[in-house]
Amino acid sequence: MATVSDITVSAAINSLSALLFLVAFAILRLQPMNDRVYFPKWYLKGIRENPTTSGPYVKKFVNLDFRMYLRFLNWVLAALRMPEPELIDHAGLDSAVYIRIYLLGLKIFVPIALLAFGVLLPVNYTGGNFNTMSLSMKDLTFGEIDKFSISNVPPASKRLIVHIVMAYAFTFWTYYILYKEYKIVTDMRLHFLAAQIRRPDQFTVLVRNVPSDPDESVSEHVDHFFRVNHPDQYFLHKVVYNANRLAKMVDQKKDLQNRLIYYTNKHERKPNKRPTTKTGFWGLWGEKIDAIDYYTEEIEKLSKEEVAERERVIGDPKAVIPAAFVSFKSRWGAAICAQTQQTKNPTRWLTEWAPEPRDVYWNNLAIPFVELNLRKLVMAGALFGLTFCFMVPIAIVQTLANIESIGKVFPFLKPIINKGSVKSFIQGFLPGMVLKIFLLILPMILMEMSKIEGFVAVSALEARSAGKYHLFLLVNVFLGSIITGTALQQLKEFLKQSPSEIPETIGVSIPMKATFFITYVMVDGWAGVAAEILRVAPLIIYHLKNIFLVKTEKDRDDAMDPGSLLWPITEPRLQLYFLLGLVYSTVTPLLLPFIIVFFAFAYLVFRHQVINVYHQKYESAASFWPDVHRRILIGLTISQFTLLGLLSTKEAANSTPSLLVLPILTFWFHRFCKNRFESAFRKFPLQDAMIKDTLERATEPQLDLKAYLKDAYLHPVFKGGEIAEEDYDDDNDDRYLVATKRTLRKGSQSGTQEGSPEDIYVDADADADAHIV
Amino acid sequence: MATVSDITVSAAINSLSALLFLVAFAILRLQPMNDRVYFPKWYLKGIRENPTTSGPYVKKFVNLDFRMYLRFLNWVLAALRMPEPELIDHAGLDSAVYIRIYLLGLKIFVPIALLAFGVLLPVNYTGGNFNTMSLSMKDLTFGEIDKFSISNVPPASKRLIVHIVMAYAFTFWTYYILYKEYKIVTDMRLHFLAAQIRRPDQFTVLVRNVPSDPDESVSEHVDHFFRVNHPDQYFLHKVVYNANRLAKMVDQKKDLQNRLIYYTNKHERKPNKRPTTKTGFWGLWGEKIDAIDYYTEEIEKLSKEEVAERERVIGDPKAVIPAAFVSFKSRWGAAICAQTQQTKNPTRWLTEWAPEPRDVYWNNLAIPFVELNLRKLVMAGALFGLTFCFMVPIAIVQTLANIESIGKVFPFLKPIINKGSVKSFIQGFLPGMVLKIFLLILPMILMEMSKIEGFVAVSALEARSAGKYHLFLLVNVFLGSIITGTALQQLKEFLKQSPSEIPETIGVSIPMKATFFITYVMVDGWAGVAAEILRVAPLIIYHLKNIFLVKTEKDRDDAMDPGSLLWPITEPRLQLYFLLGLVYSTVTPLLLPFIIVFFAFAYLVFRHQVINVYHQKYESAASFWPDVHRRILIGLTISQFTLLGLLSTKEAANSTPSLLVLPILTFWFHRFCKNRFESAFRKFPLQDAMIKDTLERATEPQLDLKAYLKDAYLHPVFKGGEIAEEDYDDDNDDRYLVATKRTLRKGSQSGTQEGSPEDIYVDADADADAHIV
């Protein structure tokens, strides 16, 4: 379809736009006023201070040292300089392993590309199919690019054997690299876990669906159950309160306080004029009133309600959820409890590893267990609908968002929109806009769906959303681009076809779509990654906040939005490149260099971002790797089936058995890797628990574990000491531990804010000074 | 195809033959000489003695009390009389639950049949499709039976709604019964396990793939590992020897001894003539020698070899397999070890519940762990080949087994087989015979395949074989009967069709095959079950053994072959009836009464057999139920898809969505039941373990657990005391238990043979008199 020169032009344009982003980034990042946008991680770590305020006032905002501009690509070297162990220390294992995915892409595709260019390109180019084809057809469906693709090999040619051999070679190379990488990541994870400092989740198990007992409270029931069934290991427990309403109030209060600050600042700047607001929605309409008085009053009102709610939650036994965080005296005890079944009814006393305290998604703990099955069923249906019928709601919204509807809702706009040029603009622009907006909010929709499914850890929610997004992209971007029409139509079409025809249908269109995907890689991949490093949105928001809200240094800290890796969005998108690379490696190898450039460039950018920007919300110790591995294998399987379909249209039907072996092998490889590695990501072996326990007992014999674990799993809204009695009544027999004196080394390297959940990590570093009776 | 009178005749013939079997059984079972064939279970239990020898000699063999013949159907009442709890006590839970499957069939199909006869038959009969059809077509493909089937409803008729409603009703009724039954069986299992006497497997875990250690023997390594990682719970362990060669020798010796006895008996009867034998294969050819001398000599030779091998196994560290049976001080400790992962490498130190000692399949313990994956892969391929291409080897054998080949191998037969009548007989008969023989040995082939896969428990092997057999029957009997041609051709056909056409293809042929399946139910079901109660093969073998081998009472005991339920064969066959009943419930309800008669009759027969005949080799506490449940649901799903396909050919395409809901619901129901019940069959909850432990500690404080567990997991060839030192060197520190005095109550109710694996159950009853230090 496209000539080589078309591609070259497109490549030039995209490279240029990527370069422009990079130059903009190089300039912006040197300005001191943007320092907190481009290097927030260092601020959070407490290493970087505000740029020196000495010198002329303007220097505070603009960098006038022109020599620095000359070295504008310095960040690349800086990003590469940090060695991996230091990176793990600095940014956590999740981030370090995440950027290894890009490296993995390079490891897989660079040798494949070399082999493909050395072997397949000459074979394809001299295939000479086009010379024998009629000119008209050539013009219609094939471009110059296709001279290098499998399309140039005539049907039933002996040359196709080369492609089959190459498919085997690429498959085995991918297995080899994937296996090696899985092994490395597993080792990294185990090493990381072994070296990890004490964390409350190592000792804690989340118990769900505690059966109700007419004679005992949930707390008593949990205590008695574990005292009986884990007599030597049970330590203490923490019941979970349904504090969702309270948490909402706290959020609301925070929002009101922000507004108050905004108006107070405004007033300070212009002391002679009291700022006003309107009582209606978003201050857009309604009665005009004095803003400072209004918000002060509102905050006071809410504070009172909050106190009442807080008391209700603590006092009301109905606010206690039949779930609890149960802590054990050793990691060994917790590992045992997490991995075993407690009672004969498998839907009761369910135990699982507790997530990290900052990883707990508290809202979902309150979901009754019986609902979970139903919720999952409904969400599975919704996902199916969303994936295969996603055009339907879009079409409805687009119909609603046309000229007439707008005119009806906003009559005052009628005269404007009825003007010819505006009308046509809206009519041409709005439908596309709606689709774009939908695609932007799609990850949020998927996240909400995962939340409805009831997972209790943020990491689980993200993993689940990533899976959903991956399916969506696979169906709607990959299949949707190959076969035109909406996914629902495709599904209908597919069900009508025989199973062996599906790969054929896809296989035939694959070579024709090569140029489309090359463009896609450049636009979405190259330019997208370059946009990532520029951080346009955080840049704007930071400066807006800086102008309107920031008064103190702490405010400025709060205004920073380092963001995080956005795992559930970036990883599934990234998988698309693996899929494209694998699919086209045997079909149109010309696509491979574009993929390689993407992986290399993204590797640099994300390494820089991980070092300087992102602040991960939790640390899962690379527990996402089995998903990454599985999805690459899904891509590999798809590539094998498409080649199978393609070759069967090339009248090489006798190649089918030899190619059918590949997906079976891939499935077996998947099973093999799963057996070999996955449990390292899912379970905590007893031997390792025992080693850590023994080591700790030897090095810290006087550790006050009770004080350490006591408030680790407190709902964040209670952090600050309002609660934390009543649960421990029956632990006060002091059988195990008596805390005598504790010194906390505050302001340690993992600098944290007052009262945040990270407080407990300070404890972890503390030289606790207690003795065991 | 068939008229109602055809069916009636067929039913009469089959009922008659079944009745003949029953009469034969009624007469034969009353003869004292057959007592051990028809009531072996009572002999094994030690309750029944030989028939009184007083009175005339003939009475010992033939029953002359003619009054007893009048009550020849007495066994039916006797079979029904024993209440279920007593049955569980008498025959074990496995058997009691097994016969519940037949009852389950009645519970599902009797109400369905009533509803179908009340609603569907009138609707079908008045459908009047055949009145509108041309006469020629009517004759060609439809019979009178079809007047009552869905075929009589014209296409696009509103009456089809009744069938859809009925499909829903039947589905929900099946769910309801299945759910109730799963719950009952789960409760029975849990109750059984809770009431169970102490068994070594409750305390024991099988550890596989112990890594090799250059400094320690396997025994030491296991000991150290569990001493460190389960410090409070580890008790003792038993390494496993690769005694496969020794076991073979023991078997061989037993065989030789049998022959010796045979010839000694022969000699005693005719003292003037020394019996002779030939040295060749099966004594068929070779040198003629004195049989008694020959076998005495051979036994002596083998005994010497056996002693040498026995010493080699015990002495050679290489004969120790990297696996061990590890026993714990409490059931709680064992439950923990069985359910947790021990080390970070998930392929090492693998723990699983130890099977019962008599359930262990010792041969497979020696398989290196690395091989297992490969073996499973190969066997999966073999199963696929066997299922879909099973006609290929048959055809080859049939080709080889023709006249010419026989003539070549056995030239001396040439003159005989070349005679016209013999030739045609062989040519017409042999190919069918080969197929029949193959089907007879198929379960054995499947069992061998399961053995190759490397399962270490007989129960696991049987469960696995049953799964394979079920697949085979589903493809080759059900699908194979519906669509003619070999399964391989079908597969090809299927792959060519679109997925939505497959149910159509099947759906269309379903009503036409009703008469075939009615005949099948009568021949295979009715007559087959009646043959089961007659026990022709054991009857003949027993009498042959009685004549040639039996000298003492013990020999006569050994000659009894009570057999067992043959779970891996009967259960998959039985599933076929569930499948047929569910498929035809909405299509041709006339089939249902035949199914119901089968279930009722089989229930009676198997209840009788379980009470009087079968002797189960192991007790799995109904652990097979999840398989039964799942397979019935598979049948239900197939029935739903066939109805879907059938209706779509009836031009009722708009019914598709409403019917497509059913398989989804079924899948969800499966998941629901799995979550709800399955873990009761797979795991041992800690609470129950703790209760049993506590109870035991209270009631038997002086139990000598060490003596109890010490030799429980000894390879059967070592039973007798040759081994059992060396493993316990490091347990002799007497930290836990000192055995002082033990009295064994021998000859308890569970009467066992000397040195059999059941010995340990005697221990369980023993009032062990030891004290804990």
**pLDDT tens-digit map of B203-217:** 898 988 888 888 888
- Please report which helix (H) or strand (E) contains residue A206, including its range: strand A204-208
Tell me which of B745 and A262 has the higher pLDDT: A262
If one counts every other C-beta atom within 10 angstroms of the C-beta of residue A215, the result is 6
* Cβ–Cβ below 8 Å for A340 and B341: no
For residue B389, what is the DSSP state?
S
**pLDDT at A734 exceeding the cut of 50:** no
Please list, in sequence order, all residues whose beta carbon lies within 8 angstroms of the beta carbon of residue A135, skipping any fewer than 6 positions away.
Answer: none
Q: How far is B641 from chain A (nearest CA, A)?
A: 15
ipTM: 0.72
Residue pairs spanning A and B at CB distance below 8 A = 112
Q: In 3-state terms, what secondary structure has residue B289? A: strand
Confidence of residue A650 (pLDDT cuts 50, 70, 90): confident
* Cβ–Cβ below 8 Å for A339 and B341: yes
User: Which residues from B are below 8 Å from A343, CB to CB?
Assistant: 685-688
Confidence of residue B749 (pLDDT cuts 50, 70, 90): very low
The per-residue pLDDT for A147 is: 74
Among A346, A497, A668, whose Cβ lies nearest the Cβ of B676? A346
At which residue do the structure tokens 């909402």 appear?
Answer: A248
Work out the average pLDDT over A524-553: 77
- Please report which helix (H) or strand (E) contains residue A642, including its range: helix A625-649
Q: What are the structure tokens assigned to B621, written together?
A: 């506490």
**pLDDT at A73 exceeding the cut of 70:** no
Spacing of C-alpha B765 from chain mean position = 29
Closest-CA residue to B583 (of B528, B645, B522):
B645
Q: How far is A705 from chain B (nearest CA, A)?
A: 21
* Cβ–Cβ below 8 Å for B684 and A230: no
* Cβ–Cβ below 8 Å for A668 and B230: no
Cα angle vertex A23, ends A17, A27, to 5°? 145
In Å, how far are A160, A175, A662, B130, B526 from A172, measured between CA atoms? 19, 5, 10, 61, 55
* Cβ–Cβ below 8 Å for B495 and A499: yes
**pLDDT at A271 exceeding the cut of 80:** no
Minimum mean pLDDT among A94-98, A208-212, B763-767: which range?
B763-767
**pLDDT at B439 exceeding the cut of 90:** no
Axis-axis angle for helices B160-195, B625-649 (nearest 10): 180
Work out the average pLDDT over B397-402: 58
Confidence of residue A420 (pLDDT cuts 50, 70, 90): low
Work out the average pLDDT over B548-553: 68
**pLDDT at B556 exceeding the cut of 60:** yes
Minimum mean pLDDT among A362-366, A597-601, B559-563, B696-700: which range?
B559-563
The per-residue pLDDT for A60 is: 58
Q: In 3-state terms, what secondary structure has residue B321? A: strand
**pLDDT at B734 exceeding the cut of 50:** no
Tell me which of B64 and A743 has the higher pLDDT: B64
SS3 readout for A379-409: HHHHHHHHHHCCHHHHHHHHHHCCHHHHHHH
pLDDT tens sequence across B73-102: 677 777 788 888 888 888 888 889 999 999
The per-residue pLDDT for B282 is: 61
Closest-CA residue to A226 (of A737, A760, A682, A730):
A730
Confidence of residue A66 (pLDDT cuts 50, 70, 90): low
Nearest-CA residue of chain A relative to B191?
A: A344
Cα–Cα distance for residue pair B224/B326, rounded to 1 Å: 12
- Please report which helix (H) or strand (E) contains residue B204, including its range: strand B204-208
**pLDDT at A455 exceeding the cut of 80:** yes
Confidence of residue A238 (pLDDT cuts 50, 70, 90): confident
| Contact in structure between B678 and B190 (CB atoms under 8 Å) | no
Please list, in sequence order, all residues whose beta carbon lies within 8 angstroms of the beta carbon of residue A268, skipping any fewer than 6 positions away.
Answer: none
Q: In 3-state terms, what secondary structure has residue B345? A: coil
**pLDDT at B677 exceeding the cut of 60:** yes
User: Which residues from B are below 8 Å from A495, CB to CB?
Assistant: 498-500
The per-residue pLDDT for A582 is: 94
In Å, how far are A200, A207, A239, A312, B61 from A326, measured between CA atoms? 11, 7, 8, 24, 71
Cα–Cα distance for residue pair B331/B544, rounded to 1 Å: 47
Tell me which of B419 and B363 has the higher pLDDT: B363
Please list, in sequence order, all residues whose beta carbon lies within 8 angstroms of the beta carbon of residue B418, skipping any fewer than 6 positions away.
Answer: B403, B407
SS3 readout for B501-529: HHHHHHHHHHHHCHHHHHHHHHHHHHHHH
Confidence of residue B491 (pLDDT cuts 50, 70, 90): low
User: Which residues from A are below 8 Å from B347, CB to CB?
Assistant: 675-676
User: Which residues from B are below 8 Å from A336, CB to CB?
Assistant: 336, 340
Q: What are the structure tokens assigned to B216, written together?
A: 């320690």
Mean pLDDT is highest, among B249-253, B271-275, B460-464, for B460-464
* Cβ–Cβ below 8 Å for A373 and B675: yes
Among A225, A495, A685, whose Cβ lies nearest the Cβ of B344? A685
Q: How far is B555 from chain A (nearest CA, A)?
A: 45
The per-residue pLDDT for B738 is: 33
**pLDDT at A666 exceeding the cut of 90:** yes
* Cβ–Cβ below 8 Å for A340 and B499: no
In Å, how far are A248, B494, B666 from B660, measured between CA atoms? 42, 20, 10
Q: In 3-state terms, what secondary structure has residue A233? A: coil
Confidence of residue A64 (pLDDT cuts 50, 70, 90): low
Nearest-CA residue of chain B relative to A339?
A: B340
**pLDDT at B681 exceeding the cut of 60:** yes
Minimum mean pLDDT among A2-6, A151-155, A502-506: which range?
A2-6
| Contact in structure between B666 and B215 (CB atoms under 8 Å) | no
* Cβ–Cβ below 8 Å for B341 and A190: no
Residue B488 phi/psi, 5-degree rounding, is -65, -45
Closest-CA residue to B441 (of B394, B392, B385, B407):
B394
User: Which residues from A are below 8 Å from B500, CB to CB?
Assistant: 495-496
Interface test with B, best of A341, A371, A494 (most B CBs within 10 A): A341
Cα–Cα distance for residue pair A475/A491, rounded to 1 Å: 10
Q: What are the structure tokens assigned to B540, written together?
A: 């003949």
Q: How far is A711 from chain B (nearest CA, A)?
A: 28
Interface test with B, best of A498, A505, A661, A668 (most B CBs within 10 A): A498
The per-residue pLDDT for A135 is: 44
- Amino acid letter for position A458: V
Cα–Cα distance for residue pair A265/A260, rounded to 1 Å: 9
Minimum mean pLDDT among B10-19, B351-360, B500-509, B680-689: which range?
B500-509
* Cβ–Cβ below 8 Å for A686 and B347: no
Among A346, A500, A686, whose Cβ lies nearest the Cβ of B340? A686
Nearest-CA residue of chain A relative to B341?
A: A685
The per-residue pLDDT for A726 is: 40
Confidence of residue A600 (pLDDT cuts 50, 70, 90): very high
Confidence of residue B167 (pLDDT cuts 50, 70, 90): very high
Q: What are the structure tokens assigned to A316, written together?
A: 């009301």
Length of chain B: 773
Q: How far is A566 from chain B (nearest CA, A)?
A: 29
Q: What is the pTM of this model?
A: 0.75
User: Which residues from B are below 8 Å from A229, CB to CB?
Assistant: 686-687, 690
Among A229, A498, A677, whose Cβ lies nearest the Cβ of B690? A229
User: Which residues from A are below 8 Å from B690, CB to CB?
Assistant: 228-229
Q: What does the longest C-alpha to C-alpha distance in chain B come to?
A: 93
Nearest-CA residue of chain B relative to A373?
A: B672
Cα–Cα distance for residue pair A416/A419, rounded to 1 Å: 6
Cα dihedral sign for A428, A429, A434, A439? positive
The per-residue pLDDT for A72 is: 61
Confidence of residue A113 (pLDDT cuts 50, 70, 90): very high
Mean pLDDT is highest, among A15-19, A694-698, B204-208, for B204-208
Minimum mean pLDDT among B114-128, B409-423, B574-588: which range?
B409-423
pLDDT tens sequence across B280-291: 666 666 677 777
* Average pLDDT of the residues of chain B: 76
Work out the average pLDDT over B303-323: 81
* Average pLDDT of the residues of chain A: 76
Task: Return the percentage of chain B with pLDDT > 70, whole number.
Answer: 75
**pLDDT at A459 exceeding the cut of 80:** yes
Cα–Cα distance for residue pair A401/A396, rounded to 1 Å: 9
Cα–Cα distance for residue pair A709/A718, rounded to 1 Å: 15
**pLDDT at A176 exceeding the cut of 90:** yes
**pLDDT at B236 exceeding the cut of 60:** yes
In Å, how far are A643, A695, B478, B508, B660 from B499, measured between CA atoms? 21, 60, 19, 15, 13
Cα–Cα distance for residue pair A734/A725, rounded to 1 Å: 15
Tell me which of B244 and A111 has the higher pLDDT: A111
Nearest-CA residue of chain B relative to A689?
A: B229
**pLDDT at B628 exceeding the cut of 90:** yes
* Cβ–Cβ below 8 Å for A343 and B687: yes
Helices and strands, counts by H and E, chain B: 38, 8
At which residue do the structure tokens 């045997």 appear?
Answer: A586
* Cβ–Cβ below 8 Å for A495 and B498: yes
**pLDDT at B159 exceeding the cut of 50:** yes
Cα–Cα distance for residue pair A440/A144, rounded to 1 Å: 35
User: Which residues from A are below 8 Å from B688, CB to CB?
Assistant: 343-344
Confidence of residue A409 (pLDDT cuts 50, 70, 90): low
| Contact in structure between A476 and A387 (CB atoms under 8 Å) | yes
User: Which residues from A are below 8 Å from B228, CB to CB?
Assistant: 687, 690
User: Which residues from B are below 8 Å from A672, CB to CB?
Assistant: 373
Nearest-CA residue of chain B relative to A229?
A: B687
**pLDDT at B462 exceeding the cut of 70:** yes
User: Which residues from B are below 8 Å from A683, CB to CB?
Assistant: 340-341, 346
Mean pLDDT is highest, among B2-11, B350-359, B434-443, for B350-359
Q: B682: left (phi > 0), else alpha (psi -120 to 50), else beta?
A: alpha
Tell me which of A312 and A554 has the higher pLDDT: A312
Minimum mean pLDDT among A43-57, A185-199, A504-518, B15-29: which range?
A43-57
Cα–Cα distance for residue pair A489/A495, rounded to 1 Å: 10
**pLDDT at A629 exceeding the cut of 90:** yes
**pLDDT at A103 exceeding the cut of 50:** yes
